[in-house]
Amino acid sequence: MLEDIVRIPPKDFSRDLNEVALNELKAKYESTVSSDYGFLIKVLKTEVDKVGKVLHGDGAKYHRAKFEALSFYPRISEIIEGEVVEITDFGAFIKIGPLDALLHLSQVMDDYVTVDLKGGVIVGQNTKRQLKVGDKVRAKIIAVSIGKGMAMAKIGVTCRQPFLGSLAWIEEEVKKAEQAAQG
């Protein structure tokens, strides 16, 4: 539960207090970033004190409000799943929740890789595994930097561990492990 003071403008005095407060909190907090709560995606509901205060020179009322919110706070070593949304000459961007994480070329796989920007694909030289836009991937968060605003947030991920990478690669690894266990 988060808390804040909500300003209710005079034009909204006749409306439902919780509804007005919810709209004010959504406008203030949704799509914001904070080192305290991470990426605040959505304000879900609010409980507003019925008694508010009026400040001299301002016709609005101020009410204390508690509210629930949906947020995403990425943690180092957390395993996430996302979708490749862009291939660049230095790696791939993976959509994870409200933002994109960088999968640097050096972190794609344990193989020498080349990038085909025209084809939009990263290819492993020995394994011939490919990573392209639209692929679903599982990755481990290795770097988190949360500044002020979405543009200042940076997440770095790796796929250079067993059972990480494209979900198709992981499926292959699982099948090989099952065959080895049976044989």
Average pLDDT of the chain to the nearest whole number: 91
- Specify the pLDDT at position 137: 97
Q: Which residues contact 68 (CB under 8 A, 6 or more apart)?
A: 1, 2, 43, 44, 45, 46
Domain ranges of the chain: 2-72, 79-168
Distance from C-alpha of 64 to C-alpha of 69, rounded to nearest angstrom: 16
**pLDDT of residue 77 exceeding 90:** yes
Residue 7, pLDDT score: 94
pLDDT digits (tens, 9 = 90+) for 123-160: 999 999 999 999 999 999 999 988 665 556 789 999 99
pLDDT digits (tens, 9 = 90+) for 84-112: 999 999 999 999 988 899 999 999 999 99
Please, are residues 134 and 83 in contact by the beta-carbon 8 Å criterion?
yes
Residue 6: what residue type?
A: V
What is the model's pLDDT at position 63? 96
- Superfamily in which the 2-72 domain is placed by CATH: RNA polymerase Rpb7-like, N-terminal domain (3.30.1490.120)
- CATH code for the part of the protein at 79-168: 2.40.50.140
Identify the pLDDT of residue 150: 54
